[in-house]
């Protein structure tokens, strides 16, 4: 009888130890999976920030080649490497981006900040392409997808938000990544026109007046 009792106690102890080990293994697997997910999300966030900065730098590169910024607030980039022409691009996880809706959202957010009036910024979708297309990088860097908007500086006071009159524009570059990740930067850019010997405008020197990470 005692032997049977001891055998039962040993079985119970073995089952408890097995359950404890199983719980420890399950906890370890959960911790590893969570850490891995956090690491992937952090990497995606960092790459999104770099991509947004790359979009802003590409915009600055294009603005340098312009002899005047008068039409910048109302036109889109014509560079195929900076504007892929797609209004509903797909991210790597097959998430679609509705650029028309995003532009509408950008305008709504801006309207909530700037008072109504003839100089209120009107945002134009200037460029949009994958980071790989913008930087001519390896195709595996197809994400993030970068979108750039521009608007006239409301301080120029000319009453025409589609035309620049003081050599200052607003810009927003936003990068969209898989799993809903997105990062954005906003900047105020200024131009100093460079002229040739005959006083003809030939290019612009670009000054970064202000920069910030945006939400």
Residue 174 scores a pLDDT above 90: yes
11 SS3 class: helix
Close Cβ partners of 140 (under 8 Å, ≥ 6 residues apart): 132
Instruction: Note the pLDDT tens digit of each residue in 147-160.
Output: 999 999 999 999 99
Q: What's this model's pTM, rounded to 2 decimal places?
A: 0.78
First to last CA, the chain: 73
Instruction: Note the pLDDT tens digit of each residue in 66-93.
Output: 999 999 999 999 999 999 999 999 888 8
Nearest to 56 by CA among 166, 164, 182, 185: 185
Give me the pLDDT at residue 40, please: 47
Are 140 and 6 within 8 A, CB to CB?
A: no
Strand ranges for 48-144 from DSSP E = 124-130
Are 147 and 102 within 8 A, CB to CB?
A: yes
CA–CA gap between residue 103 and residue 100 (Å, rounded): 5
Point out the least confidently predicted range of 18-22, 44-48, 71-75, 166-170: 44-48
Both structure tokens of 19 = 């359950």
Are 175 and 131 within 8 A, CB to CB?
A: yes
- On the question of a cis peptide bond just before residue 144, with omega within 30 degrees of 0, the verdict is yes
Give me the pLDDT at residue 93, please: 84
Nearest to 43 by CA among 51, 54, 53, 55: 51
Both structure tokens of 167 = 């050599």
Residue 53 scores a pLDDT above 60: yes
CA–CA gap between residue 187 and residue 112 (Å, rounded): 18
% of the chain residues with pLDDT over 70: 78
Instruction: Note the pLDDT tens digit of each residue in 94-150.
Output: 889 999 999 999 999 999 999 999 999 999 999 999 999 998 765 554 579 999 999
CA–CA gap between residue 111 and residue 105 (Å, rounded): 10
User: pLDDT-derived band of residue 29, with 50, 70 and 90 as boundaries?
Assistant: low
């Amino acid at each position: 009888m005692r032997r049977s009792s001891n055998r039962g106690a040993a079985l119970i102890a073995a089952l408890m130890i097995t359950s404890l080990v199983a719980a420890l293994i399950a906890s370890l697997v959960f911790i590893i999976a969570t850490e891995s997910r956090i690491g992937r999300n952090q990497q995606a966030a960092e790459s999104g920030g770099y991509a947004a900065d790359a979009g802003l730098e590409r915009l600055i590169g294009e603005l340098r080649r312009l002899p005047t910024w008068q039409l910048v607030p109302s036109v889109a980039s014509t560079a195929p490497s900076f504007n892929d022409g797609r209004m509903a691009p797909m991210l790597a996880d097959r998430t679609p981006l509705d650029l028309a809706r995003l532009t509408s959202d950008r305008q709504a957010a801006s309207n909530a900040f700037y008072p109504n009036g003839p100089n209120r910024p009107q945002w134009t979708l200037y460029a949009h392409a994958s980071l790989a297309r913008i930087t001519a990088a390896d195709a595996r860097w197809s994400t993030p997808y970068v979108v750039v908007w521009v608007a006239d500086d409301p301080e120029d006071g000319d009453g025409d938000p589609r035309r620049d009159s003081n050599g200052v524009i607003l810009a927003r570059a936003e990068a969209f990544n898989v799993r809903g990740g997105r990062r954005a930067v906003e900047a105020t850019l200024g131009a100093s026109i460079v002229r040739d010997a005959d006083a003809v405008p030939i290019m612009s020197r670009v000054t970064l007046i202000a920069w910030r990470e945006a939400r």
